[in-house]
């Protein structure tokens, strides 16, 4: 019997790309491939790309350049580019890097086996369509191998918001929600394979409206149904838009025990003038009042967010409004970036802020956010939290897991991967907590 062919996938970007890479590997498993951790012995290399960060396309070309010697030594090696850069620049990738055999967008990766077969016959394969068929329905069920205790589960894709800085509506398409039955079936399968926590994914996950018994289901209704699954102990979701945090989803944070007290809710700026230029369609005041309602439903919830500084037209007064919003909200975690233009978006045509000024603002914002994160972590010392253990630590007998609030927690004690235990926090470090079994 011939040895299986080997597939190497390198994943960039968000959790949805991690999920997509898993499903690509499963799809190619049906074509006789097994995953490898090294490109050196791979029969197929697949780069699953992200278009969000600065110079994303150039980084892909740079990465492809590293594989030229491998391709020259082994002409049968297949090289593919998938994901959002593939969607945005498919034909250009083929033109600039002739060694690339196939390019597939994020809505078409269920067609990978057919594309690989075409490439095996010496033809180039390009598919960046937004197909009518449901890729999730076309994908075979996940294999039955044992899984780690946590997993991502995509329930929604695409975005209709068209923020002025964002490429997602152009690379992922319009908002589409998976049917309820499909999501529940995949969740049950994950639980059967050892998963105890799922993170529901979507570019705009709280815009979920999936077809289910009785009509459209909201994200809150889906969460409550998932909470009924025996063996599924924790539920999270990301990423959300403030305009889609409805009353029922806010209430779910208070009445659904399995929904963890952590919410990533990007605002991007604290200036109404900048928010309008970003086409965010909400104000800073509306965002702050929303946070108050969420905390009223779940007082111990940890709020995370995203900020862009140096957006075209941002003044020092606008930035001061952002700092004031951060002071009022008090974030437990946050991601902040200096604005970088994405070709094809409205903001890319506007006059940029001086890079030196933007960098200075980012430094000041990150200092404030870091202080707030440390204050929130330090306040955990002495408290008892639930921890789902995911891996062994670096020290003998040490285990590492995630708390209810998504903090990394280190413990030395009699626990194993997959255990969910109560831990009393004894120490706060810059990016993690330490504790003892309660």
Sheet holding 78-83, edge to edge: 33-35, 5-11, 44-49, 78-83, 102-104, 125-127
Band of pLDDT at residue 136, cut at 50, 70 and 90: confident
Which pair of structure tokens corresponds to residue 183?
Answer: 């999501």
- Mean of pLDDT values over 212-230: 97
Q: Name every residue whose Cβ is closer than 8 Å to that of residue 123 and which is 6 or more positions away in sequence.
A: none
- Mean of pLDDT values over 146-151: 88
8 A C-beta contact, residue 270 and residue 323: yes
- pLDDT number for residue 15: 87
Q: How far apart are CA 430 and CA 254, in angstroms?
A: 29
Q: Which residue ranges does the chain devote to CATH 3.40.50.12160?
A: 5-127
Query: DSSP 3-state assignment of 380?
Result: coil
- pLDDT number for residue 121: 84
Q: What percent of the chain has pLDDT over 90?
A: 77
- 84 annotated as a binding-site residue: yes
- pLDDT number for residue 271: 98
- 14 annotated as a binding-site residue: yes
Q: How far apart are CA 437 and CA 387, in angstroms?
A: 10
8 A C-beta contact, residue 253 and residue 235: no
Bridge pairing between strands 262-264 and 234-238 = unpaired
- pLDDT number for residue 2: 63
- Mean of pLDDT values over 318-324: 98
8 A C-beta contact, residue 394 and residue 434: no
What rounded mean pLDDT belongs to the chain?
93
- pLDDT number for residue 270: 98
Q: Give the other-Cβ count within 10 Å of 372's Cβ.
A: 18
Check pLDDT > 70 for residue 252: yes
Q: How far apart are CA 138 and CA 59, in angstroms?
A: 31
Give, as one character, the DSSP assignment of residue 86: H
The residue behind tokens 């946050």 is 334
Q: Which residue ranges does the chain devote to CATH 3.30.750.210?
A: 141-260
The residues pairing with 127 across neighbouring beta strands, listed in sequence order, are: 104
How confident is the model over 337-348, as pLDDT tens digits?
999 998 889 999
Q: How far apart are CA 157 and CA 168, in angstroms?
A: 10
How confident is the model over 23-66, as pLDDT tens digits?
999 889 988 999 999 999 999 999 999 877 667 778 888 989 99
Bridge pairing between strands 433-437 and 408-412 = parallel
8 A C-beta contact, residue 203 and residue 159: yes
Give exposure, 401-426, as e/b (b: 16+ Cβ within 10 Å): bbbbbbbbbbbeeebeebbebebebe
Mean pLDDT is lowest, of 75-79, 171-175, 381-385, for 171-175
- pLDDT number for residue 435: 97
Q: How far apart are CA 33 and CA 10, in angstroms?
A: 15
Q: What are phi and psi for residue 163, nearest 5 degrees?
A: -60, 145
The residue behind tokens 């606008």 is 318
In 128-195, which ranges are E strands? 150-154, 156-157, 176-177
- Mean of pLDDT values over 191-214: 96
Which pair of structure tokens corresponds to residue 281?
Answer: 């369609």
- pLDDT number for residue 406: 97
8 A C-beta contact, residue 80 and residue 45: yes
Band of pLDDT at residue 144, cut at 50, 70 and 90: low
- Mean of pLDDT values over 74-82: 93
- pLDDT number for residue 88: 84
Q: How far apart are CA 295 and CA 300, in angstroms?
A: 7
384-437: what CATH class? mainly beta
- pLDDT number for residue 219: 98
Q: What percent of the chain has pLDDT over 70?
A: 96
Bridge pairing between strands 384-392 and 420-428 = antiparallel
- pLDDT number for residue 122: 81
Q: The CATH number of 141-260 is which of 3.40.109.10, 3.30.750.210, 3.30.1600.10, 1.10.3720.10? A: 3.30.750.210
8 A C-beta contact, residue 411 and residue 401: yes
Q: Which residue ranges does the chain devote to CATH 2.40.50.140?
A: 384-437
- 256 annotated as a binding-site residue: no
Give, as one character, the DSSP assignment of residue 144: -
- 334 annotated as a binding-site residue: no
Check pLDDT > 70 for residue 269: yes
How confident is the model over 377-409, as pLDDT tens digits?
999 999 999 999 999 999 999 999 999 999 999
Looking at domain 5-127, does it have CATH number 3.40.50.12160? yes
Give, as one character, the DSSP assignment of residue 259: B
- pLDDT number for residue 3: 79
Q: How far apart are CA 316 and CA 294, in angstroms?
A: 30
Check pLDDT > 70 for residue 12: yes
Band of pLDDT at residue 132, cut at 50, 70 and 90: low
The residue behind tokens 């209430």 is 251
């Amino acid at each position: 019997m011939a040895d299986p062919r080997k597939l190497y996938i390198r994943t960039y970007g968000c959790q949805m790309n991690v999920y997509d890479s898993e499903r690509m590997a499963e799809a190619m498993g049906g074509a006789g491939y097994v995953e490898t951790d090294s490109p050196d012995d791979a029969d197929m290399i697949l780069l699953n790309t992200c278009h969000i960060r600065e110079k994303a396309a150039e980084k892909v070309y740079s990465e492809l350049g590293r594989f030229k010697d491998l391709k020259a030594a082994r002409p049968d090696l297949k090289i593919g580019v998938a994901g959002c850069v593939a969607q945005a620049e498919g034909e250009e990738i083929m033109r600039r890097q002739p060694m690339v055999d196939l390019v597939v967008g994020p809505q078409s990766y269920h067609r990978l086996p057919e594309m690989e077969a075409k490439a095996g016959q010496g033809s180039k394969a390009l598919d960046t369509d937004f197909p009518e068929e449901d890729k999730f329905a076309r994908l075979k069920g996940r294999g039955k191998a044992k899984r780690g205790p946590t997993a991502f589960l995509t329930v929604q894709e695409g975005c209709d918001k068209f923020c002025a800085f964002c490429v997602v509506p152009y690379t992922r398409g319009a908002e589409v929600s998976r049917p309820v039955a499909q999501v529940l079936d995949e969740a049950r399968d994950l639980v059967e394979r050892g998963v105890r926590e799922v993170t529901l994914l979507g570019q705009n996950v709280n815009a979920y409206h999936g077809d289910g018994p009785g009509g459209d289901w909201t994200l809150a209704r889906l969460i409550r149904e998932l909470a009924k699954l025996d063996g599924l102990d924790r539920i999270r979701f990301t990423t959300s838009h403030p305009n889609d945090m409805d009353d029922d989803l806010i209430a779910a944070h208070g009445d659904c025990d399995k929904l963890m007290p952590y919410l990533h809710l990007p605002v991007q700026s604290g200036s109404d003038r900048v928010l309008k230029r970003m086409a965010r369609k909400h104000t800073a005041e509306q965002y702050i009042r929303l946070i108050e309602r969420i905390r009223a439903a779940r007082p111990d919830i940890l709020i995370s967010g995203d900020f862009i500084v140096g957006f075209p037209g941002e003044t020092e007064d606008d930035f001061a409004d952002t700092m004031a919003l951060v002071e009022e909200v008090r974030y437990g975690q946050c991601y902040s970036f200096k604005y970088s233009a994405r070709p094809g978006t409205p903001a890319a045509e506007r006059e940029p802020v001086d890079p030196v000024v933007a960098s200075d603002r980012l430094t000041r914002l990150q200092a404030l956010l870091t202080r707030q994160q440390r204050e929130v972590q330090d306040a955990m010392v002495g408290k008892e939290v639930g921890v789902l253990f995911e891996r062994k630590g670096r020290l003998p007998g040490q285990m590492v897991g995630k708390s209810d609030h998504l903090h990394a927690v280190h413990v030395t004690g009699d626990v194993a991967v997959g255990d969910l235990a109560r831990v009393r926090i004894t120490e706060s470090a810059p990016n993690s907590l330490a504790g003892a079994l309660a």
